[in-house]
Amino acid sequence: MRLRTSLAAVGVAAALVLTGCAGGGGSDADSAGAALTIAKPDGAITTESNNPYLGDSSASKYGYGKVIFESLALVNPTGDLGTTPWLAESVEWNDDYTQLTAVARSGVKWSDGEDFTADDIAFSYNQVLDGKLNDTNALDLKSVTVDGDTVTIDFNSSKYTQQARVLHFQIVPEHIWKDIKDPNTDPVTGEGQAVGTGPYVLDSWTTESVTLAANPDYWGGELAVPELHYVSYGDNAALTTALATGEADWAQAFIPQIEDSYLSADPDNKFLASPTAGAGTLFMNLQTKPFNDPALRQALAWTIDRQAYVDIAREGASEAIWSVTGLGTLLEDEIVPEYAGQNYEVDIDKARQILTDAGYTWDGETLVDPDGEDVTFSISVPAGWSDWNTEQALLAEELKEGLGIEVKVDQPDWGGWDAARQEGTFQAIIHWLEDTGNAYGLYTSAMDPKWIVDGKAAFNFGRFDDPEVTAALNTYANASSDADRDAAIAVIEKAFVENVPVIPLGAHPLLGEFNTRNYVGWPSADDQYASADPTQPAIVQILTKLQPAE
């Protein structure tokens, strides 16, 4: 599915501007609603840094940087995968996605009262172009120009598969940041430095809690929530207790036995799992036995129960992927006609027939390969990754009972697992995919040699290599027409179906726990205008939609 502009969301943003010009909710809890406490399980965060560009800053770790510094547009990773213009009134790509044209939203002010202009947008991107700010998002900029309210950004390569990275780049005020010598290290904690266009402004910072107050001049209108408190708990257990007791209001976490430990504690407690274009995926080492045989991989694809992965390992917080193309429901419109409606199912007889036709036999209940060797392998997932640890056990049971394969469950520490996946010394692992918001994410993750540098893999851990597929992946990423991209995807999907280089299990979800005691208007299964994950850029969109509960 291609990223597309969400007209409904644009209308909502416009309505907020028109109706909210009287100012925001301020920080007076008596005249407005209750504060919201947003929690994470990351342990103590001891050093203040409000720099939105640093992944290890407190603004990034807590997530509060996203309600201070905004971006040109919001790309929905779930729902309709739509693009909602935000600080830009409009965003438009050229045919090959090497140029972005953005019109700066009028009537926006920085939280210190200065006017926001197109020059601020240009300055923000030029920090990267000029080499002042590290290009951690791989923007690969060519030029940035301003003409009135319009900013034109040119790139050295197509950004079709990286639209979210470009559009979510946070915009900062030129009148403050021009004096910051090194934006790669500056904590932005000086007096009057944490200035943004966002719905909230920094009020106080301590190692126990960070407080933000509603921006009274926010361009998006009056805010129902007057104050946000950001808190970090020691682990998931402490976070779960805080959510269940109402000490925390909003979080993103995988909570085991969520019905008993959280939802049943209060009818106002809610949980939303939003599927994305990514997926929890079984990667197999295609270079060694037993996975160097496509027939064995095909048999596994007809044996593995994806619904059990969703219901048991993920406790319902996912969506099973059954299409032979590996694409989930969000990307159904990218499935070529040849494979539309063609799905795997648990069919042990079919799996066994595939193996029989390929020369496999059984010694009693044990599967034996054409070389006369028992088929056995290990599946590796770091210890403590409870959902995927559960899936390891499920796979071992399914493959033993269905096909007679002895599966060893391997649960190393992170370091050992990481080294094995990079160096290709594993047999099978469960891993995530690159999520590009379209089909490219799955296929580049599974089949693209570009990820292997100096013998180490960042994706394509099985080391699939087919020049025709590589060329098609490059065409898909850089095409200047839908026709060229459609032709490329047909080649890619055919190779994926025939080779089964990986087996997607279930859509990778964005998770959100929240309550409706004080506010309504949250995303829901019926209205996925955003995920409910407060660490995502769309938190600003959610906060403009929340209204007091009656």
Residue 20 lies in a domain: no
Runs of H (alpha helix) within 191-292: 236-245, 258-261
Residues 505 and 543 in one domain: no
How far is 372 from 61, CA to CA, in rounded Å? 53
How far is 23 from 216, CA to CA, in rounded Å? 5
What letter would DSSP give residue 437?
Answer: S
Helix (H, G, I), strand (E, B) or coil at 383: coil
Strands 36-40 and 227-232: parallel
Torsion over CA: 160, 164, 165, 171 (sign): positive
What is the token pair recorded at 328? 């989930």
Residues 148 and 230 in one domain: no
How far is 523 from 529, CA to CA, in rounded Å? 6
Contact call for residues 100 and 93 (beta carbons, < 8 A): yes
Based on C-alpha coordinates, what's the Rg of the chain? 25
Domain coverage including residue 433: 276-509
Residue 9 lies in a domain: no
What is the token pair recorded at 234? 């020691």
What is the token pair recorded at 439? 């089909």
Residue 146 phi, psi (nearest 5): -125, 135
Give the pLDDT of the chain (550 residues) as one tens digit per residue.
344 444 333 333 433 333 333 233 333 333 458 999 999 998 888 999 999 999 999 999 999 999 999 999 999 999 999 999 999 999 999 999 999 999 999 999 999 999 999 999 999 999 999 999 999 999 999 999 999 999 999 999 999 999 999 999 999 999 999 999 999 999 999 999 999 999 999 999 999 999 999 999 999 999 999 999 999 999 889 999 999 999 999 999 988 899 999 999 999 999 999 999 999 999 999 999 999 999 999 999 999 999 999 999 999 999 999 999 999 999 999 999 999 999 999 999 999 999 999 999 999 999 999 999 999 999 999 998 999 999 999 999 999 999 999 999 999 999 999 999 999 999 999 999 999 999 999 999 999 999 999 999 999 999 999 999 999 999 999 999 999 999 999 999 999 999 999 999 999 999 999 999 999 999 999 999 999 999 999 999 999 999 999 8
Residues 208 and 349 in one domain: no
Strand extents, DSSP E, 341-498? 361-363, 366-368, 376-380, 406-410, 428-431, 452-453, 456-457
Torsion over CA: 176, 177, 181, 186 (sign): positive
Residues 447 and 493 in one domain: yes
Residues 244 and 328 in one domain: no
Strand extents, DSSP E, 191-341? 200-205, 210-214, 227-232, 250-251, 269-284
How far is 538 from 309, CA to CA, in rounded Å? 28
Per the document, the length of the chain is: 550
Residue 19 lies in a domain: no
Residue 282 phi, psi (nearest 5): -85, 115
Residues 315 and 288 in one domain: yes
The closest of 279, 236, 289 to 258, measured between CA atoms, is: 236
Domain boundary among 184, 218, 244: 184
Q: Listing from the earlier edge strand, what are the strands of the sheet with 210-214?
A: 200-205, 210-214, 227-232, 36-40, 250-251, 502-515, 269-284, 428-431, 376-380, 406-410
CATH number at residue 407: 3.10.105.10
What letter would DSSP give residue 506?
Answer: E
Task: Write the CB contacts of 302 (distance below 8 Å, at least 6 apart in sequence).
Answer: 344, 345, 346, 347, 348, 350, 351, 354
Domain boundary among 151, 184, 217: 184
Rounded to two decimals, the pTM is: 0.90
Residues 205 and 252 in one domain: yes
How far is 181 from 190, CA to CA, in rounded Å? 13
Residues 498 and 527 in one domain: no
Helix (H, G, I), strand (E, B) or coil at 204: strand
Residue 13 lies in a domain: no
Residue 55 lies in a domain: yes
Query: Domains in the chain: how many in total?
Result: 3
Residues 323 and 262 in one domain: no
How far is 378 from 393, CA to CA, in rounded Å? 11
Count Cβ atoms below 10 Å from residue 115 Cβ, excluding itself: 13
Residue 6 lies in a domain: no
Domain boundary among 184, 217, 252: 184
CATH number at residue 132: 3.90.76.10
Residues 382 and 347 in one domain: yes
150 sits in the region (left: phi over 0; alpha: psi -120 to 50; else beta) called beta
Residues 328 and 454 in one domain: yes
Residue 420 lies in a domain: yes
Residue 259 lies in a domain: yes
Residues 255 and 390 in one domain: no
CATH number at residue 225: 3.40.190.10
What is the token pair recorded at 90? 């409009």
Residue the block writes with tokens 């002010």: 109
Q: Nearest-5° angle of CA 541, CA 544, CA 548?
A: 135
